[in-house]
Amino acid sequence: MTVTATHDHVVLVDVDGRPTGELALRAEVHSTSTPRHLGFSCYVIGDDGRVLLTRRALGKRTWPGVWTNSLCGHPRLGESLPDAIARRAEDELGMALHSPRTVLPDFHYVATDASGIVENEFCPVAVARCATAPDPRPEEVMDLRWVTPGELHQLVRTAPWTLSPWCAAQVPLLGAHLTASGTDR
């Protein structure tokens, strides 16, 4: 099957995160030999300064049931990162966001889950503010929790295995980006 921009796809990228001109079906790309593709992670910050963590639904292909950042996804061909974040926030969490901004533009990782499925993403990381309350889709998110940035950093230090590998790797790099004022609440 030839993958086109009308299919639910991912954009394949080279080691520097530049599109190769190839697409792959999102439903088929994650395997034991996943090619590097474009993704993103987003951390949502509430008005009270707490960060939204989500627990991935048990039906997810990779890292089912694992706690992670607020939302993840794959920008489609020609889709801007803010538009991809808005689309996935609605799809996963039934919520609107405002002020998304990229804070780790060059983050990338390779990780293998317990079933042998590999994630291989060039994955810019963004933070955004909560515009509406979450109403998670059960096929995407089985639970959610609002935590302070300090609690999240402590979780990464003491129990990183409870989080997705990308979240555990991103949080130490985020520093003050997780707070509105640069101070922990």
**Closest C-alpha to 88, from 68, 76, 73:** 73
Q: Are 141 and 96 in contact (CB under 8 A)?
A: no
**Closest C-alpha to 156, from 140, 172, 136, 173:** 172
Residues 6+ positions from 80 with CB-CB distance below 8 Å: none
Active site residues: 72, 121
Tell me, what's the pLDDT at 182? 40
How many residues in total does the chain contain?
Answer: 185
* Cα 122 from Cα 104, distance rounded (Å): 11
Tell me, what's the pLDDT at 163? 97
pLDDT 10s digits, 14-63? 999 999 999 999 889 999 999 999 999 999 999 999 999 999 999 998 89
Tell me, what's the pLDDT at 184? 43
Tell me, what's the pLDDT at 134? 97
- Chunk the chain into consecutive blocks of 10 residues (it has 185) and report each block's average pLDDT, rounded to whole numbers: 68 95 91 96 96 96 94 95 97 96 97 94 97 96 97 97 97 89 41
Tell me, what's the pLDDT at 70? 98
Using CA atoms, how far residue 124 sits from 23, 26, 35, 105, 150, in Å, is: 18, 18, 17, 4, 22
Q: Are 30 and 24 in contact (CB under 8 A)?
A: no
Q: What global pTM score does this model have?
A: 0.92
Tell me, what's the pLDDT at 4? 59
3-class SS of residue 9: strand
Tell me, what's the pLDDT at 172? 97
Q: Are 71 and 96 in contact (CB under 8 A)?
A: no
